[in-house]
Amino acid sequence: MKILITGAAGFIGFHLVKRLLDTDYEITGLDNLNSYYDVNLKYDRLKQCGIFTWERARLVKSEQHLNYQFVEADLQNHTLLTGLFQSEKFDIVVNLAAQAGVRYSIENPHSYVESNITGFLNILEGCRHNNVKHLIYASSSSVYGTNEKMPFKTSDRVDNPVSLYAASKKSNELMAHTYSHLFNIPTTGLRFFTVYGPWGRPDMALFLFTKAMIEGEKIDVFNFGEMARDFTYVGDIVEGIYRLLPLAPKSELNRMQDSKPPYQLFNIGYGSPVRLMDFISEIEKNLGIKADKNFMSIQPGDVPKTWADVDDLFSLTDFKPKVSIKQGVKNFIEWYLDYFDISLMKNIS
């Protein structure tokens, strides 16, 4: 089976590539290596997979893994993407490429439309014209917006996004449903819940808090600490995706003999929220440093709590996330200290 993974130098995409390197999948990774955050982290992720050189619009073979090749390209490049789909004849596409970040979307709205909507349309067109057997794409827990009913279920209405990022992800779900309905493309949407772990993004809380605490700086604690997130370890996220790869949805007829498109949507989270202050406490324990906290009001685009109902995903895949916040934070801190070559004397009081 030939598989395209977009966002292959990104946080989740990198971990998915790593998960598949020792399988029989023939993998093509795609990433535009943009500078939303430190590109050196993206370069180092590529090197972990045997990609040591790259250039725009050219497929490069891994020097360590015969089943992996990588291309630096933008999803908005319709001509290049069309040629790639036609030449490679992918069986499965996992679209993880996107302009990420809730708060960044307030300052840079155009990049979200270009990457998350125009880019996704190009993916859908590539699947439509090249007989792709399964498209899996990243949505987000942010689509739940101001929903107050907990835990969040995929059957809940999601008509109240509070950021353009959330609106772009909801747009992806609607676009995928349309293509499933019109062209019978099997699509699976995944609403990710606060993914964290080694090789994580520098703009996310765990990375930001760890860096600030080591450097003796204050950490910004929003909503005066009254926040909770369904933190989900990246290894669990990747295992969920891996199990879904062969489970493409099928068209069905209902009792009225109306056709149901091959479309499915899942939450993918740990399944229980963790208080932000407890999360910070785990970082403190692992670093041996007491955080100097700057309590602030909630930021535009943020929500106070997320909580995923994952029963549907578990029923289909027989898999539930297993890595606790205690173990997950420990794994991240160990990676961070090793990656940045930092030694600490733990002296927390």
- Assess contact for 308 and 267: CB atoms under 8 A: yes
For 231, 253, 278, 288, the CA distances from 344, given in Å and listed in that order, are 26, 61, 22, 8
Residue type, 20: L
Q: Which H/E stretch holds residue 182?
A: helix 164-183
Q: Is 165 a catalytic residue?
A: yes
- Assess contact for 185 and 132: CB atoms under 8 A: yes
Can you spell out the DSSP letters for 55-75? -BT--EE-SS-TTEEEEE--T
How many Cβ atoms from other residues are within 10 Å of residue 255's Cβ? 5
Torsion angles phi and psi, residue 279, rounded to 5: -60, -45
How many Cβ atoms from other residues are within 10 Å of residue 112's Cβ? 24
Angle, nearest 10°, between helix axes 276-287 and 325-339?
50
- Assess contact for 348 and 287: CB atoms under 8 A: yes
Residues 6+ apart with CB under 8 A from 312: 154, 266, 267
- Assess contact for 72 and 32: CB atoms under 8 A: yes
Q: Which of 165, 179, 196, 233 is catalytic?
A: 165
Residue type, 91: D
Nearest to 306 by CA among 334, 276, 338: 276
Q: Which residues pair with 128 in a beta bridge?
A: none
Query: Hey, which residues are catalytic here?
Result: 165
